[in-house]
Amino acid sequence: MHRPISLMALATTAIATTLATPAFATTREEQPSVTTPSAASTEIKPPVAEKRAHSYTVHGITVEDPYDWLYDKSYPTVDDEDVLNHIKAENAYFEAKMAGQAAFTEALFTEMRARIKEDDSTVPQKDGDYLYWSEFEEGAQYRKHWRKPVAGGEAELLLDENQMAEGQEYFRLGAASVSENGRFLAYATDTNGSERYTARIKDLQTGELLPDTIENLRGDLVWVKNDTALVYGPSTEEWRTLEARMHVIGTPVESDVTLYKEEDQSFGVGTGLTSQKDWLIIGAGDNETSEVRLVPADNPTAAPILVKARKKGVEYSVDVRDGELWVWTNDDHINFRLAKAKLATPGDWQTVIAGSDDFYLTGFDLFKDFFVTEGRLGGLDQIQLRRYDDPAQITTITFPEASYTAGLSNNPEYDVSKLRLAYQSMVTPATVYDYDVKTAKLETLKTQEIPSGYDPSLYVSERLTVQARDGTMVPVSIVMRKDRAEILKKAGIEGPGPLHLYAYGAYGYAIPPGFSTTRLSLVDRGFAYAIAHIRGGDDLGRRWYLGGKLFERTNTFNDFVDVGRGLIAKGYTAEGKVTASGGSAGGELMGAIINQDPSQYGAIVAHVPFVDVVNTMLNEKLPLTPGEWQEWGNPITDKAAFAYMLSYSPYDQVVAKDYPPMLVTAGLNDPRVTYWEPAKWVAKLRELKTDDNLLLMKTNMGAGHGGQSGRWNSLKETAEEFAFILWQMGMAPKSEGE
């Protein structure tokens, strides 16, 4: 979609394919016999990391850090034998302890896979002279990407990810973009999980790869200069994107032209095209401030138009329609407004839609005859169509359920009469609609198919609020079986059943109440599954996000703990029967909640957890640190930020007490949360915890932040996670030797 660059995209420099939207994945299973967790393999002892004296003093405060040696100072190269040997020992311990659950893990994997339509494909979408889609073949790990002429003709294979992934331990397709004339395909691949992509260009007429190769790429690939050049974002050694660079096809990469270079190391740079594809947008921003420049797409080296100079705390993104600038900004309201300006005076913004305390405006899209605003009202997704001549006249697309997630899907063309939408809820599988703008009718194009069977009438979804300790009412979305009580009784579980609680709570990212087929492996066994819409996300607007960052960060952790306690009080579960999981910043959340209230939880899974907060925020050489100070605070210059961060940093707050059973994951090549954060955390937990509960760590040696690539490899890791949870909750079948 040629939509305005969002600030969050600039801040994270996310890489996404534009060839086609993802195909659906799906899920079901049988009820196993119930046993209690076993002490099998008790002769296998967990690795004990050596303590090596190390301390540092900041703002007069001295911190002891005896596991600092697990940070290989030659990173991103990790070749310290002591470090590698310790990580391998942890992996061996993980394999040994999980060996007794191998059959159960395989059974979970089989039932999860049975819910997935293996030969699945996306709904074709028109873009210019072609229809584009992607598909999985039966048994395949990766996608094939196709197109077909709208006028008729044979389907054309653009990329076969399976072929590209052959011989690779890891493979991920990043940015992918077809030139406007339809002849060339630029795409980027990552083969080790480091998110440093390599871009190639394929001539779709001949099927040959051009000799042009761009290494160390981050960000999008944008065609400009009448399809003769690509704009991309190179990565620095520190894994930052500080430039917008242009490569003219057929010329040496060494001669590529820098269109814009950012001097502030905390900013990231991203690029895109306007809806009519006539302007190249060059955006720079961090987590709270942005700045945008425009250059003609047919003359990218022309003098740029600076829309408005950066001002701390002011975010904005832009699009252009018929020479008129449209701006989404929070300059005068926390929940953003929509404004317009003339290109001759781009900083003179005149309000089109004023900011609202009730409606949270999250973005907009321009089309030829109308424009679309998206946002949330009371935390619920809204899609609104508006007329250019009367923006106050709103047509809201309505959906039947009380709780759901919906938004624009892949809409690459400017002149359209139908909009492609995506919809799902916690009980309704992912659905693709076309919305007819004239008739206001929704046409269902595809509903996620679950081959092993799924009956939505067996499930109930609820949305309720739980009061946090400071009086704030926190929304919670829950799904469970209607016959949950009977399932638990049949399984021999007395009293309230288990509940799995999930959240993220950072960067203003709201966890949508969407559908999951893998989740059914818990729910069909009697679990309630809850999403806590805690502060730090923007579920209830921008203030909700700000209420969980910087010096309000601990609200996020308190909200999660209090939601769990509230659900216990309401009878959904009981003390020690709450399981929880989170990844990255959500992994930090897991570390904080077990330090605060460990007895609530029966099992914890922390994926690539950001737990060594203070050390990471003190290390400005690390890839993301300068850009993260706006989110967490800068402990280098701010004593108060240092002290506050130290007060909640999960690694620093580990003490001698009982902790729940835990599974922790890491990626050796992870540039976002470096491998040593979970490694140090687990080492310290092993040293200080006073319980005999299982603590496992698994490090993917050839992958990064997202774990293993390929849909089956990824699914297998989810099966491992659920096997661990069910095992620790006494809901796994007996293993050999028990």
Catalytic residues: 584, 670, 705
Angle between helix 639-648 and helix 554-569 axes, rounded to 10 deg: 30
At 257, is the secondary structure helix, strand, or coil? strand
* Residue 49 per-residue DSSP state: P
CA distances from 53 to 56, 64, 619, 721 (A): 11, 8, 19, 34
d(CA 728, CA 490): 19
H and E: helices and strands count for the chain: 14, 37
The residue with tokens 């890839």 is: 623
Structure tokens at 66: 């005896």
The answer to whether the peptide bond before residue 76 is cis (omega within 30 degrees of 0) is yes
The residue with tokens 């106050």 is: 392
CB atoms within 10 A of CB 24: 23
d(CA 265, CA 13): 14
Q: Name the helix (H) or strand (E) containing 546.
A: helix 542-546
Q: DSSP characters for 654-721?
A: --SS----EEEEEETT-SSS-THHHHHHHHHHHHH--S---EEEEEETT-BTTBS-SHHHHHHHHHHH
Q: DSSP characters for 232-246?
A: EEEPPTTS---EEEE
The residue with tokens 């999403």 is: 531
d(CA 626, CA 736): 51
**What is the SS3 string spanning 63-82?**
EECCCHHHCCCCCCCCCCHH
| Phi, psi for residue 383 in degrees, rounded to 5 | -120, 120
d(CA 320, CA 309): 18
Strand partners, 209: 202
Is 604 within 8 Å of 663 (Cβ atoms)? yes
CA distances from 687 to 680, 681, 695 (A): 11, 10, 11
Is 267 within 8 Å of 627 (Cβ atoms)? yes
Structure tokens at 53: 């004296």
* Residue 280 per-residue DSSP state: E
Residue 208 buriedness (CB in 10 A; 0-12 / 13-18 / 19+): exposed
Q: Among residues 193, 28, 302, 63, which one has the least CA distance to residue 709?
A: 193
Structure tokens at 222: 């944008």
Is 558 within 8 Å of 530 (Cβ atoms)? no
